[in-house]
């Protein structure tokens, strides 16, 4: 048996310590940007439970960047996109946001899917003066000059869909949703609308995101006999609800409205017999028959493997395409990528027309005034039957006015 | 009256779900003491087999579910037993880590092949009415399948030579080896059978749920807790533990919320393990399987 | 080979080993802020919080022999305790201590239940796992505003954000600067490491290890095994809580994911990869694995290979090829060789044949040198 000398051992230990330090130092190497490029970052989970949203979002960002570059770039420069994959992990969100802001010095971060991850990176990017563009439908209430939101809020989607339900189905409403902040708030908005319009709010029941067994709840709904069901279920596990609902023969008996149904491509996972007739309100549907959208869908499918292979586009996926293009247009208008100038251009009430219709920035909240479409599932795809133009994102209008208090940087909960 | 009837069915279905989830693990962990963290992913694979068979190849749902899924997942189990697990027998913690890697790997592979879109098969057989309530017929079928599967396991283990060899080898591999049995071979087959049972469970549950690459996480902890609380006699124990947990969870879910159902399930597990540190069958039914 | 394992362990447990490791940390403490790289300082702070978490697990598992599958629950409890307390007090001194006291009390309760109930091994693992999951589900279900402690809302799945950072004790308006936060975190890391070393070197530490080695023997010698295990568990929980509080100061945020199974499993990985029964090993394991996952996420792009796939492969290969952890194995490899080196040497030699003639010679020479060092047959590079 050979034995190791102490000196040798110390040498190797010192070497490994040095290696670790060196690994840390790699953060120190600033990447020199070529003068002819503008760097932007996307931060969407491409692995882990949220990849179902993150992968199409990354694709859409990529497509938008390629289109902008093909059209001659931005201010005469090419855009380089860095796509980070935070792997559904909050620590990595923080790390990549810091890396994007401090090391890559990106012009904008298109990022975050869940509100939780947005609330991790929003302060980091705010502190480091890097603009954040958030394009996912969410519970509303963010009031931050640095965070432009092109996703729709409960007021924009929830009221139209509940209004439709009460007009067509009846006054007794039963609400179920996923158990977190957004469905809580959406439920409260729903209750407010229903009671104000002479309806009866039967229940608000929320479920953890990994629940797949809905038998007891379905029995409860049967016992309560509502006129229609309002759902805000989220994620892959919750699709089981729709399956079990249909299997219990309820789809034909009690109608359902929702605006999260479709966000996770639920209607593609389910068979038409399991979801036909469900009504949803969204800022975007792949089936929108506007020329702009038909062309966009075709470009997307051509780029990502054809109509069969490319993922179905919903309002979440397409949101990052809209966000990237809208930002680029704002840069053109400002004539610079400087954050303050771009924000100022946007806050002047700038408009842009994309595949989902016209979006206009509301300077008071830095959210977008936009169109919302009502659609019904028919034969497993959406049939858009009504468009409500230019709805305002006034969820927390009473407390959020960035034109007066531009330093505000928090998320308000609507007081109902 | 209707309400009580429907609740009884739901409790039974909750018990059957847990027992199904635990069946394969009762073999792999209960008998072989291999901590298989990829248990949930084996179930997920079973679900995908059903989807691919019915959607891509138009195979009959029942054939896909009851025959192809267990065979396929059994083979996958066999392959990984050969290239991974067999080097790690007797090293519980190493197995835990390795199978955790395996679970990530399987999630990655399935995502890579099928994308991350949620898939599923429609629940067959429609609904029946029960007074004011209506329920899916498939629930009853699932309960029946569970009963049949457990009966089959008991018969194979208690009444056949194969079962005798398997049980003997798990108890004392050296002794078995002296008697002319090849323990590595028995281990290999037993692991494959456990994987097949897991795949079968995943396939049977697929029409009730959805299938996504990451669905395994929802199964794995429940399955482990059920089998461990069951204790030494893996199958009797799993049935007993499923009975207790299924009842607790369904009743609480109905009376209050599903989250409390989940929490109470876990609290019950902790209390049971405090009372019976070696599982329910560590105290009772010690001589059963 | 055992010799080599022992020499790593001897280094890890020896006094000069401790000096070297603590010395490197002190050097980093002084050098890093001078580099004037805010990103580096930030990210090092993240690694520090995770290293402290790894140390807590290294201590209770590697030295106390307690296989806790839910070390993340103490991390999460510490984090939530800090977040809730600082939200109420508006000052961070008391919350900082609460972040250690709350998990310690919880561990005392849970540990009493387990160790005085004489539960062992796998049952401890499962109970800690179950309790962690129960906490995870519970915290996840607190999104309603009825779950408010004082002024702080628990916020459920979304988590608590914009949590106040540390301030100078007593003065809630004087927040610590980025550099000071770094000094504080690094100082705590050094204190934790050296503190654990001192503890392990004391009589108490020796009894703890004796209990791990042979519970019955320790008991027959008159030690109350249950009490020692409980103490180890509680200390480990307090350290994990400290890590949770530091990690909040890095990301200003905490969510129920702190209790999630994947973090719980990761902690075990760090210790296992680094080497159970050492303190230095888990530190290295933690840094390496976190860095790998960070790098994988930077490189991933739509349509590329899935990060999980690659990470899963790494984990499996790791357990198969280097089961006793990185550092002992590196040593093993250099000194003893074995079949893995012969395998690698074979691969290098065959690779050399594929290369153009000009660059073939040095590669081949390298392969041959590796082979030449191979020990006489009869030794196996692997160990059970």
- Structure-block tokens of residue A46: 């491409």
- Please give the pLDDT value at position C199: 94
pLDDT tens-digit profile of A141-178? Answer: 899 999 999 999 988 888 889 999 999 999 999 999 98
pLDDT of residue A42: 94
Question: Which CATH number goes with the domain that contains A166?
Answer: 3.40.50.2300
Smallest Cα distance from B261 to chain C, Å: 10
The pLDDT, as a whole number, for residue C299 is 58
pLDDT at A7 over 50: no
Q: Which residue has the tokens 């603590």?
A: C22
Across the range C125-140, mean pLDDT stands at 82
Q: How far apart are CA A23 and CA C44, in angstroms?
A: 11
Residues 6+ apart with CB under 8 A from C201: none
- Output A5 or A133, whichever has higher pLDDT: A133
Q: Is residue A384 part of a domain?
A: no
- Grouping H, G, I as helix, E, B as strand and the rest as coil, residue C380 is coil
User: In terms of residue numbers, what domain contains A249?
Assistant: 155-282
CA distance C13 to C58: 13
Contact A331, A315 (CB under 8 A): no
For residues A270-283, one letter each, b for 16 or more C-beta atoms within 10 angstroms of the residue's C-beta and e for the rest, the string is beeebbbebbbbbb
pLDDT of residue C354: 61
Give yes or no for C157 touching B (CB within 8 A).
Answer: no
Pairing outcome for strands C160-161 and C253-254: antiparallel
Q: Looking at per-residue confidence, does A81 or B173 come out higher?
A: A81
Q: Does C93 touch chain A (CB under 8 A)?
A: no
For residue B111, give every residue at least 6 positions away whose Cβ sits within 8 Å of its Cβ, in sequence order, or none: A47, A51, B213, C306, C308, C309
Residues in chain C: 384
Residues of A in contact with C17 (CB under 8 A): 13
CB count in 10 Å sphere of residue C146: 8
Q: C94 and C85 in contact (C-beta within 8 Å)?
A: yes
Decide if B108 touches A, using CB distance below 8 A: yes
Which of A256, A282, A308 represents a domain boundary (last residue)? Answer: A282
As a whole number of angstroms, the distance between CA B150 and CA B158 comes to 12
Residue C363, min C-alpha distance to chain A (Å) = 24
Residues A198 and A233 in one domain: yes
Q: Count Cβ neighbours within 10 Å for each residue of B19-37 and write b for 16 or more, e otherwise.
A: bbbbbbbbbbbbbbebbbb
Contact B138 A247 (CB under 8 A): yes
Percentage of chain B exceeding pLDDT 90: 20
- Cβ contact, residue pair C320, B84, below 8 Å: yes
The pair phi, psi for residue C37, each rounded to 5°, is -130, 95
Position A22 pLDDT exceeds 70: no
Asked which of A232, A256, A282 is the last residue of a domain, the reply is A282
pLDDT given at position C1: 47
**Residues of chain C neighbouring B225 (CB-CB closer than 8 A):** 126, 129-130
pLDDT tens per residue, range A287-306: 988 999 999 999 999 999 88
SS3 C122: helix
Pairs of residues, one from chain A and one from chain B, whose beta carbons lie less than 8 Å apart: 129
C22 and C193 Cβ atoms separated by less than 8 Å: yes
Answer yes or no: is A28 within a domain: no
pLDDT over 50 (residue C374) = no
Given pLDDT bands bounded at 50, 70 and 90, which one contains residue A65? Answer: very high
- Give yes or no for a contact between C365 and C348, defined as CB atoms under 8 angstroms apart: no
- Range among A4-13, B96-105, C355-364 rated most confident: B96-105
Distance between CA atoms of B177 and B20, rounded to whole angstroms? Answer: 32
Is pLDDT at B125 greater than 80 in this prediction?
A: no
Strand-pair category, B133-136 with B127-130: antiparallel
User: Does A292 lie in the same domain as A252?
Assistant: no
Taking only the tens place, the pLDDT of each residue in C244-261 is 999 998 888 898 888 887
**Average pLDDT for chain C:** 81
Ordered by start, the domain boundaries in chain B are 2-215
A266, B209: Cβ pair inside 8 Å? no
Distance CA B210, CA B118 (A): 7
Residues of chain A neighbouring B108 (CB-CB closer than 8 A): 47
Q: Are residues A206 and A353 in the same domain?
A: no
Distance, in Å, from the CA atom of A303 to the CA atom of A63, rounded to the nearest integer, reads 8
Q: CA neighbours within 13 Å on the CB side: how many for B263?
A: 15
| Higher pLDDT among residues A414 and B149, named by residue | B149
pLDDT of B196 above 70: yes
Instruction: Compute the distance between CA of residue C339 and CA of residue B100 in angstroms, rounded to an integer.
Output: 26
pLDDT at C339: 52
What pairs with residue A357 in β-bridges? A354
B217–C contact, CB cutoff 8 A: yes
pLDDT of C381 over the 60 cut: no
Mutating which of B209, B216, B250, B252 best tests the A interface, going by the most A Cβ atoms within 10 A?
B209
Please check whether residue A383 lies inside any domain of the structure.
Answer: no
End residue of a domain, out of A282, A306, A331: A282
Please, are residues C265 and B224 in contact by the beta-carbon 8 Å criterion? Answer: no
Rounded CA-CA distance A130/A146 in Å is: 8
Number of neighbouring beta carbons within 10 Å of residue C40 = 20
DSSP state of C175: B
With beta carbons less than 8 A apart as the criterion, state whether B127 and B135 touch.
Answer: yes
Q: Kindly report the pTM of this predicted structure.
A: 0.79
Total domains present in chain A = 2
- Read off the pLDDT of residues A323-371 as tens digits, 9 standing for 90 and up: 999 999 999 999 999 999 999 999 998 999 999 999 999 999 999 999 9
Does B96 contact chain C (CB < 8 Å)?
yes
**pLDDT tens-digit profile of B240-272?**
889 999 899 888 887 777 777 878 888 888 788
Q: Is residue A4 part of a domain?
A: no
Residue C223 has pLDDT above 70, yes or no: yes
Task: Please give the torsion angle defined by the CA atoms of residues C184, C186, C192 and C194, in that order, rounded to the nearest 10 degrees.
Answer: -120
Distances (CA, A) of B63 to B51, B67, B150, B153, C237: 12, 5, 20, 20, 51
By C-alpha distance, the chain B residue nearest A176 is B257
Cβ atoms of B232 and B286 closer than 8 Å: yes
Average pLDDT over residues A81-94: 85
| Locus of tokens 């635990």 | B22
Note the pLDDT of residue B91.
75
Q: Which residues of C touch A102 (CB under 8 A)?
A: 38-39, 42
- In chain C, which among 244-273 make CB contacts under 8 A with chain B? 261, 265, 268-269, 272
**A251 and A192 inside one domain:** yes
Residues A53 and A139 in one domain: yes
Question: What radius of gyration, in Å, describes the C-alpha atoms of chain C?
Answer: 23
Distance CA B93, CA C275 (A): 12
- Per the CB < 8 A criterion, the answer to whether C212 and C47 are in contact is no
How many alpha carbons lie under 13 Å from residue A68 in its C-beta half-sphere?
A: 31
C173 versus C238: the higher-pLDDT residue is: C238
H-assigned helices in chain B: 2-25, 39-56, 61-63, 69-83, 92-114, 137-159, 161-171, 173-178, 183-205, 216-230, 234-255, 258-275, 280-283
* Among chain A residues, CA nearest to B7: A216
User: How do the domains of chain C map onto residue ranges?
Assistant: 2-314
Q: Which of B9, B112, B118, B264 to mutate to test the interface with A (most CBs of A within 10 A)?
A: B118
Give the three-class secondary structure for B129. strand
Cα distance from B51 to chain C (closest Cα, Å)? 22
Smallest CA–CA distance, residue B66 to chain A, in Å, is: 20
Q: Which residue of A has its CA nearest to C255?
A: A116
β-bridge pairing A172-178 and A228-232: parallel
Gyration radius from chain A CA atoms: 23
Q: C373 and chain B: CB distance < 8 Å anywhere?
A: no
Which residues are bridge partners to A367 per DSSP?
A149, A362
* Chains within contact range of chain C (3+ C-beta pairs < 8 Å): A, B
How sure is the predictor about C380, in pLDDT bands with cuts at 50, 70 and 90? very low
CA-CA distance, B48 to B213, in Å (whole number)?
Answer: 9
pLDDT digits (tens, 9 = 90+) for C147-205: 888 888 888 888 888 888 888 888 878 888 888 999 999 999 999 999 999 999 999 99
Residues of C in contact with B35 (CB under 8 A): 122
* B289 Cβ under 8 Å from any chain C Cβ: no
Average pLDDT score, chain A: 85
Lowest-confidence pick of A180-194, A331-345, C367-381:
C367-381
Q: What are φ and ψ of residue A387, in 5° steps? A: -120, 130
């Amino acid at each position: 048996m050979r034995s190791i000398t102490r000196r040798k051992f110390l040498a190797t230990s010192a070497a490994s310590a040095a290696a670790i330090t060196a690994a840390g130092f790699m953060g120190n190497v600033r990447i020199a940007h070529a003068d002819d490029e503008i760097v932007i970052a996307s931060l969407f989970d491409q692995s882990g439970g949220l990849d179902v949203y993150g992968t199409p979002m990354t694709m859409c960002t990529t497509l938008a960047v390629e289109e902008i570059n093909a059209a001659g770039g931005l201010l005469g420069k090419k855009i380089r996109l860095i796509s980070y994959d935070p792997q559904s992990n909050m620590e990595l969100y923080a790390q990549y946001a810091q890396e994007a802001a401090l090391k890559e010095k990106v012009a904008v971060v298109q990022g975050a899917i869940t509100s939780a991850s947005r609330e991790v990176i929003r302060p980091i990017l705010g502190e480091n003066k890097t603009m954040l563009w958030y394009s996912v439908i969410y519970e509303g209430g963010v009031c931050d000059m640095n965070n432009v939101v092109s996703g729709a809020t409960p007021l924009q989607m929830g009221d139209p869909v509940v209004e439709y339900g009460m007009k067509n189905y009846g006054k007794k409403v039963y609400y179920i949703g996923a158990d977190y902040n957004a469905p809580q708030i959406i439920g409260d908005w729903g209750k407010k609308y229903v009671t104000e319009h002479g309806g009866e709010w039967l229940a608000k029941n929320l479920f953890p995101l990994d629940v797949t067994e809905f038998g007891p709840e379905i029995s409860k709904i049967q016992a309560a006999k509502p006129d229609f069901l309002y759902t805000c279920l989220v994620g892959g596990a919750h699709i089981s609800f729709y399956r079990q609902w249909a299997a219990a023969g309820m789809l034909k008996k009690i109608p359902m409205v929702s605006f999260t149904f479709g966000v996770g491509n639920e209607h593609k996972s389910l068979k038409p017999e399991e979801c036909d007739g469900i009504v949803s309100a969204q800022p975007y549907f792949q089936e929108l028959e506007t020329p702009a959208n038909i062309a966009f869908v075709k470009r997307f499918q051509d780029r990502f493997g054809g109509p069969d292979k490319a993922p179905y586009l919903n309002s979440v996926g397409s949101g990052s395409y809209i966000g990237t293009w809208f930002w680029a247009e704002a840069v053109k208008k400002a004539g610079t990528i400087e954050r303050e100038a771009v924000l100022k251009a946007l806050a002047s009430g700038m408009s842009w027309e994309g595949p989902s219709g016209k979006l206009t920035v509301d300077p008071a909240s830095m959210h977008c005034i936009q169109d919302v479409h009502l659609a019904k599932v028919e034969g497993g795809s959406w049939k858009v039957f009504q468009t409500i133009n230019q709805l305002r994102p006034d969820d927390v209008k009473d407390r959020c006015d960035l034109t007066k208090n531009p330093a505000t940087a928090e998320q308000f909960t609507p007081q109902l | 009256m209707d309400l009580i009837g429907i609740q009884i069915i739901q409790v039974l279905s909750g018990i059957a779900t847990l027992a199904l989830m635990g069946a394969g693990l009762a073999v792999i962990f209960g008998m072989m003491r291999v901590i298989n963290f990829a248990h949930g992913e084996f179930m997920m694979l079973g679900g995908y087999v059903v989807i691919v068979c019915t959607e891509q190849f138009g195979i009959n749902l029942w054939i896909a579910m009851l025959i192809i899924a267990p065979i396929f997942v059994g083979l996958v189990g066999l392959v990984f037993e050969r290239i991974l697990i067999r080097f790690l027998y007797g090293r519980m913690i190493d197995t835990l880590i390795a199978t955790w890697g395996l679970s990530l790997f399987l999630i990655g592979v399935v995502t890579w092949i099928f994308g991350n879109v949620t898939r599923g098969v429609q629940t067959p057989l429609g609904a029946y009415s029960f007074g004011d309530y209506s329920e899916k017929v498939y629930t009853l079928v699932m309960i029946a399948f569970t009963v049949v599967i457990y009966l089959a396991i008991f018969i194979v283990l208690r009444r056949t030579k194969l079962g005798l060899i398997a049980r003997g080898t798990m108890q004392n591999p050296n002794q078995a080896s002296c008697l002319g049995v090849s323990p590595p071979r028995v281990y290999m087959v037993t692991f494959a059978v456990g994987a097949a049972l897991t795949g079968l469970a995943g396939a049977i549950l697929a029409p009730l749920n959805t299938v996504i690459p990451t669905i395994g996480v929802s199964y794995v902890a429940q399955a482990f807790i059920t089998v461990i609380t069951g204790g030494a006699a893996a199958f009797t124990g799993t049935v007993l533990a499923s009975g207790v947990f299924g009842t607790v969870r369904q009743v609480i879910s109905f009376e209050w919320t599903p989250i409390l159902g989940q929490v109470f399930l876990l609290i019950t597990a902790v209390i049971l393990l405090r009372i019976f540190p070696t599982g329910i069958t560590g105290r009772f039914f010690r001589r059963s399987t | 080979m055992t010799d080599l394992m022992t020499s790593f362990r001897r280094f890890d447990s020896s006094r000069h080993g401790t000096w070297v490791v603590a010395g490197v940390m002190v050097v980093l403490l002084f050098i890093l802020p001078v580099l004037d790289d805010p990103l580096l300082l930030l990210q090092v702070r993240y690694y520090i919080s995770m290293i402290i978490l790894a140390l807590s697990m290294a201590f209770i598992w590697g030295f106390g022999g307690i296989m806790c599958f839910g070390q993340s629950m103490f991390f999460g409890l510490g984090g939530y305790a800090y977040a809730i307390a600082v939200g109420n007090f508006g000052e961070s001194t008391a919350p900082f201590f609460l972040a250690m006291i709350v998990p310690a009390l919880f561990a005392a309760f849970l540990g009493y239940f387990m160790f005085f109930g004489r539960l062992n091994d796998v049952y401890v693992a499962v109970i800690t796992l179950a309790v962690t999951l129960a906490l995870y589900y519970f915290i996840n279900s607190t999104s309603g505003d009825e779950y408010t402690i004082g002024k702080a809302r628990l916020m459920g799945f979304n988590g608590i954000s914009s949590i106040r950072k540390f301030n100078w004790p007593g003065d809630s308006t004087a927040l610590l600067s980025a550099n000071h936060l770094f000094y504080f975190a690094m100082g705590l890391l050094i204190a934790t490491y050296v503190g654990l070393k001192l503890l392990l070197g004391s009589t108490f530490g020796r009894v703890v290890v004796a209990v791990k080695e042979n519970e019955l023997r320790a008991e027959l010698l008159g030690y109350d095994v249950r009490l020692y295990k409980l103490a180890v568990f509680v200390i480990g929980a307090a350290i994990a809580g400290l890590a949770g509080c530091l990690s909040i100061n890095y990301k200003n945020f905490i969510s129920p994911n702190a209790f999630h199974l994947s973090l719980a499993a990761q902690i075990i990985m760090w210790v296992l990869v680094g080497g159970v029964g050492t303190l230095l090993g888990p530190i290295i394991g933690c840094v390496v694995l976190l860095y790998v996952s960070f790098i994988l996420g930077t490189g991933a792009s739509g349509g590329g290979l899935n990060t999980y796939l690659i990470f899963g492969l790494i984990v499996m290969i790791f357990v198969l090829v280097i089961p006793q952890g990185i550092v002992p194995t590196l040593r093993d490899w250099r000194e003893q060789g074995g079949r893995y080196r012969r395998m690698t040497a074979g691969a290098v030699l065959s690779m050399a044949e594929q290369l153009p003639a000009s660059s073939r010679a040095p590669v081949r020479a390298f392969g041959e040198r590796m082979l030449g060092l191979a020990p006489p047959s009869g030794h196996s590079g692997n160990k059970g």
